[in-house]
Amino acid sequence: MSLSDRSSRRSVLATLGLAALALSASTLAGCSFTPVYGPASGAADLGFSYTDPDTRPEQIVYQDLKASFTGPATGRLLTVAVAATTRSVSRTTGGSLFSGYQKVLSAHVTVTDAAAVTTGLFDDTFEASATYETSGQVLADRAAETDAETRAAHALAQTIRLALLGAFTH
């Protein structure tokens, strides 16, 4: 291969590389990244009205969301319906004194326009879970289950928070 072939190949590759770089830069020019935590997250600009919670997990979810979305309340009504279920987790081996369980929370989340009573602004279902173990001591078992439910509710609130940020911030 001669020296002129190599240099012409290099110039063609360099031109193609620059063209690809220009194309990707123009494609990404409209994109930007926004942090999802902290004051610049956009959550401070969002405000929702909330329905009254019916259960303790709903109350935890609403408290976390209210702490995140500190903007003025708008005409958007946020409804979170949380349903809690407990299911067995086969994490224990035979002969163990401890039994493993998983507290699963699922939430149906809707955002409606309270003034126009329009639906479809946001409608989705989410799930979060936390594991716990029981040992046969009634008080400790109840405390473990309550703690798992609380951890699952906080995780559920964070999942909902991120989904709402994605849906209502641009």
Mean pLDDT of 115-133: 80
What residue ranges in the chain does DSSP mark as E strands?
49-50, 76-88, 99-113, 118-134
What is the structure's pLDDT at 1? 53
User: Which is more confidently placed, 120 or 136?
Assistant: 136
User: Which is more confidently placed, 161 or 121?
Assistant: 161
Residues 71/88, Cβ–Cβ less than 8 Å? no
Phi-psi region of 68 (alpha: psi -120 to 50; beta: other; left: phi over 0): alpha
> What are the residue ranges spanned by the domains of the chain?
1-31, 38-168
CA distance 93 to 82: 32
Of 153, 170, 164, 167, residue with least CA distance to 68: 164
What is the structure's pLDDT at 122? 83
Q: Can you read off the two tokens belonging to residue 106?
A: 């699922």
Residue 20, pLDDT above cutoff 90: no
What is the structure's pLDDT at 140? 95
What is the structure's pLDDT at 38? 57
Residue 17, pLDDT above cutoff 70: no
Instruction: Please report where in the chains the tokens 């809690």 appear, as a residue.
Output: 84
What is the structure's pLDDT at 46? 77
- 158 Cβ neighbours under 8 A, 6+ residues apart: 64
The alpha carbon of residue 112 and the mean position of all alpha carbons in its chain are separated, in whole angstroms, by 19
Residue 82, pLDDT above cutoff 80: no
CATH numeric code, 38-168: 3.30.160.150
- 83 Cβ neighbours under 8 A, 6+ residues apart: 105, 106, 107, 108
